[in-house]
A = this chain, B = another copy of it.
Amino acid sequence: METPTNELEVVKSSDLKPKPVGDQVPFGTVFTDHIFTMDYETGKGWHSPKIVPYGPISLDPAAMIFHYGQTVFEGLKAYHTEDGRVLLFRPEENFKRLNLSSDRLSIPPIDEEQMLEYLTKLVELEKDWVPQTPGTSLYIRPFIISTEPNLAVGPSQTYKLMILLSPVGSYFPGGLQPVIIHVEDQFTRAVKGGTGMAKTAGNYSAGYQAQANAKKAGNADVLWLDGVEKKYIEEVGSMNIFFKINGEVVTPALNGSILKGITRMSVIELLKSWDVPVSERKISIDEIYQAYEDGLVEEIFGTGTAAVISPVGELNWKGQKMIVNNHEIGELSQKIYDTITGVQYGRVEDSFGWTVEVN
């Protein structure tokens, strides 16, 4: 890959927007004054990195993103510490995963280190947008879209990478709230050999029908089962899932159809450091219900950038209700939550080297 024009160009907005007050911003609806953009063209490579004022982008209606969905994205956050620093949580892992997703979607890779530099510069410029109310953060959305105007099915010759920043309120303003989850046995999110391990647009809208049905029935989201046998547990909408059974923590192994969550990875590292037994393996939904019958299911929780830890208070599968820990947050879930958010907000020592400070 050639790197012709890699000098970052910064065009500042002359018309700064008012920042939202307090904690009541709905997720993903307010954006900062600037975005990062970078272009790709076959033969030229990624070029023209820019920080420019937030504003509409102009695309040919034949741009491939609209027709064949060749696109990938990431999601991470910047946190404001009490002593006034701004921290990113394992951002290098997000750019690594972006490249994994791009590989699956036949999108050219980016230079991960350089992207981290660009991101740091963008967050630095928008530092005042990182909210300071406890539990709030600045959500960061890098994404790549295919832009060549061409209706022939096949990889695009041009791409645009962008990074959007969006201040978000606390996920659990009233403290951790266990959620009710529907175990989906009709619709499928992903299957071996498909795109499930990639963070790509089509995987998400594929879940809307199942999620709408689940919500109608009073559930917050769905737990996906494998697409082959509808038997093995995969993940929740935008979270990986963990079970604490009889003192041991288990989570589905990375099998090609679930996302390699960065929170998941961090939880596993944390549990190992605490000598809590944890394993990644195939887990059938029957096994979980059997363990429940036997009184061994102690805690269930989802993990993801949005909530960090989202305790599951109830699972519903084919009319069978499983009430977990009396709809209350478990001790281990709370401890993991406190530790990871502690590191993110600079209250707990970062002994793993997870955070990157923005100057």
A26 touches B152 (CB 8 A): yes
- Specify which chain B residues have a CB less than 8 angstroms from the CB of A200 in the assembled complex: 69, 202, 205
A: which residues have CB within 8 A of B? Answer: 26-29, 31, 35, 54, 56-62, 65-71, 73, 104-106, 139, 141, 143, 145-146, 149-155, 162, 164, 166, 186-195, 200-209, 211-212, 227-230, 237-238
Give, as a whole number of angstroms, the nearest-CB distance from A175 to chain B: 22
Report whether over half of chain A's contact residues are helix, strand or loop; otherwise say mixed.
loop
With beta carbons under 8 angstroms apart, the residue of B29, B58, B66 that contacts A65 is: B66
How many copies of the shown chain assemble into the complex? 2
A-B contact pairs, 11 of them (CB 8 A): A56-B59, A57-B60, A62-B141, A68-B201, A69-B202, A69-B206, A106-B208, A188-B193, A192-B227, A193-B230, A202-B206
Give Cα A229 to B106, complex, Å: 25
Give Cα A106 to B211, complex, Å: 11
With beta carbons under 8 angstroms apart, the residue of B27, B59, B66, B146 that contacts A152 is: B27
With beta carbons under 8 angstroms apart, the residue of B141, B145, B152, B202 that contacts A28 is: B152
- Specify which chain B residues have a CB less than 8 angstroms from the CB of A207 in the assembled complex: 153
- Specify which chain B residues have a CB less than 8 angstroms from the CB of A151 in the assembled complex: 27-29, 139, 141, 164, 166
A104 touches B209 (CB 8 A): yes
Give, as a whole number of angstroms, the nearest-CB distance from A194 to chain B: 5
Give, as a whole number of angstroms, the nearest-CB distance from A99 to chain B: 14
- Specify which chain B residues have a CB less than 8 angstroms from the CB of A206 in the assembled complex: 69, 194-195, 202
Known contacts A27-B152, A150-B28; A204 and B56 CB within 8 A of each other: no
In the complex, what residue of chain B is closest to A209 when comparing beta carbons? B106
Known contacts A62-B31, A145-B66, A237-B153; A227 and B193 CB within 8 A of each other: yes
B67 touches A29 (CB 8 A): no
With beta carbons under 8 angstroms apart, the residue of B70, B164, B237 that contacts A208 is: B70
Give Cα A344 to B104, complex, Å: 39
B208 touches A154 (CB 8 A): yes
Give Cα A171 to B143, complex, Å: 35
Give, as a whole number of angstroms, the nearest-CB distance from A123 to chain B: 17
B186 touches A193 (CB 8 A): yes
In addition to A56-B58, A56-B60, A69-B202, 5 A-B residue pairs with Cβ atoms within 8 Å of each other are A68-B204, A69-B200, A151-B166, A189-B194, A201-B201
